Amino acid sequence: MARGLGYNRGTLRAYPARNASLARFGVLSALVLGLILGLVWAMALRENASRRLDLEFSAFRTSTRLMEEYLQDPTKIETDQGVLGLGIYSPDGSPLHRQGRAPASFLAPRPTPTSFSLQDGGASVILVRPLGLDEGQSPPMPMMRRGGMGPGGGMGLGSGPRPGRGQARILWLEFSSDSMSRANLLTLGASCLISLGLAILYLVLMRLYRRNLELREREAGNRELVQLGEAARTLAHEIKNPLAIIRIQTASLRRLGETGRLDPPGLGERTLVIEEEVDRLTALSDRIREFLRSGEGEAVDLDLGPFLSAFAARYAAAEDFPSLVAPKGAEGLWVHVDPDRLSQALDNVVRNALEASSAAGKNGAIPPVRLSVAQRGSLVEICVDDEGPGIAPELEARLFEPFFTTKEKGSGIGLALARRIAMSAGGSLEHRRRSGPGACFVLCLPRVPAPSPKAG
């Protein structure tokens, strides 16, 4: 299906540069955010390790104090609020002292290592440490009593060690770690939130940078289009004068041939070809000027029902041409647009569809072109469906761009002009693939409320 298409080479050339710039920015920003994430998690893990060391130090300090109190008076041991269990055991596992959640017996490995372990669930820690003499050491010799011999003439023994001293002992202490666990969870939660925030920030930065690149490219493209438009407007204006002179001279040659004063073979046919080509160039110049001028026109509130019925009726009398089926149910759908400009936009789309249907029906019945109207939210969609060859997939990306065409005598301005008119009315023009053969073009316009009847 031949349709007027456009091709913006500057835009396509900008894609590799945009992708390369976006990739560089993405890599650099990812490295920076990764470094920040690494620092955040390193600080979080270091803070948790510091809390564990503080808890271990508190447990050791508490165990030392409790052991001193036990040696002074086993009946007067005062445990802190954080102590959940206290046990002092002999090397054979028998308890010397038990409080709280301490086990009834505890047999430690030999030699007994000092261990500090976090319990399942993280609510407490258990400290095991040897105290006093290790197993196998001899108890200290009794002290000699000062001041002479003992009874019977022997050396007098002193009072000896205090009860419990000189024995190998194992201390078992369970210490609460609720505060550490809560603080660790808060630290990890804060780190997760910071990581999530940085990830969102990364996505936002990438989106903003991509949009910035697109805006810059669009601005550069707009500048080029403005320059191209000025050149095209000047060129279209300057071409009209030579074309008018060529048309006048061609008419003079035809009159000379008709009067017999100049009668070379085939003069009439050749002058007719010249006039046809002049008319085609004039029409092309006019279409370029039409494309370059403002697309808004004089917008009014328009009821699509009567408008589209009258529009379809214009094509009803055409012979050897596909029929245009008018839409149903369009009454009461109002849009704000210039009727002449809307008619011009639809003409460009419908003529392409009629030509495509004619090409599809050369060897049989010519399928009709159908106009349909549907409401989608706040938009009104005017669909133009044909059953022609359709749009090749490789050409879809080049639709609606000016000055590209697959027609032998096409200008490549029709669809671009139709889209510009639609956009100037706050709408759009797009191509949608059909499930069957053919093509579908949809012109969307914002729906407006029906005007209230005038009073009086």
Q: List pLDDT tens digits, range 79-109.
A: 777 888 888 888 888 898 888 888 999 888 7
3-class secondary structure, 204? helix
DSSP alpha helix (H) spans, 260-371: 267-292, 304-313, 339-360
String of b and e for 93-102 (b: at least 16 CB within 10 Å)?
eebebbbeeb
Contact (CB, 8 A) for 419 and 408: no
Partners of 390 in the β-ladder: none
Q: Which token pair is 223?
A: 């500048």
As a whole-number percent, the residues of the chain with pLDDT over 70 amount to 74
Least confident of 329-333, 447-451, 452-456: 452-456
| Residues with Cβ within 8 Å of residue 443, at least 6 apart in sequence | 345, 346, 349, 381, 382, 383, 384, 418, 422, 427, 428, 429
Q: What is the pLDDT of residues 45-78, one digit of tens each?
A: 998 888 888 888 888 888 888 888 887 887 777 7
Q: What is the pLDDT of residues 273-287, one digit of tens each?
A: 777 777 777 777 776
* Mean pLDDT over each residue of the chain, to the nearest integer: 77
First-last CA distance in the chain: 53
Contact (CB, 8 A) for 111 and 130: yes
Q: Is residue 212 over pLDDT 50?
A: yes
Contact (CB, 8 A) for 440 and 434: yes
Q: Is residue 338 over pLDDT 50?
A: yes
pLDDT at position 427, please?
92
The residue among 304 and 232 whose pLDDT is bigger is: 304
Q: What is the pLDDT of residues 172-188, one digit of tens each?
A: 988 888 888 888 889 98
Q: Which of 100-104, 167-171, 390-394 has maximum average pLDDT?
A: 100-104
Q: Is residue 419 over pLDDT 50?
A: yes
Tokens 């005017």 belong to: 382
pLDDT at position 361, please?
60
| Residues with Cβ within 8 Å of residue 176, at least 6 apart in sequence | 81, 82, 83, 84, 123, 124
Contact (CB, 8 A) for 156 and 141: no
Across residues 253-260, what is the average pLDDT?
Answer: 70
The residue among 198 and 157 whose pLDDT is bigger is: 198
Q: Which helix (H) or strand (E) holds 445?
A: strand 439-448
Contact (CB, 8 A) for 169 and 96: yes
Contact (CB, 8 A) for 1 and 356: yes
pLDDT at position 316, please?
72
- Note the CATH number of domain 300-448: 3.30.565.10
> What would the DSSP string read from start to end of 108-153?
--SSPPPEEEEPTTSSEEEEEEEEESPTTPPPPPPPEEEEEE-GGG
Q: Is residue 209 over pLDDT 80?
A: yes
pTM, 2 dp:
0.46
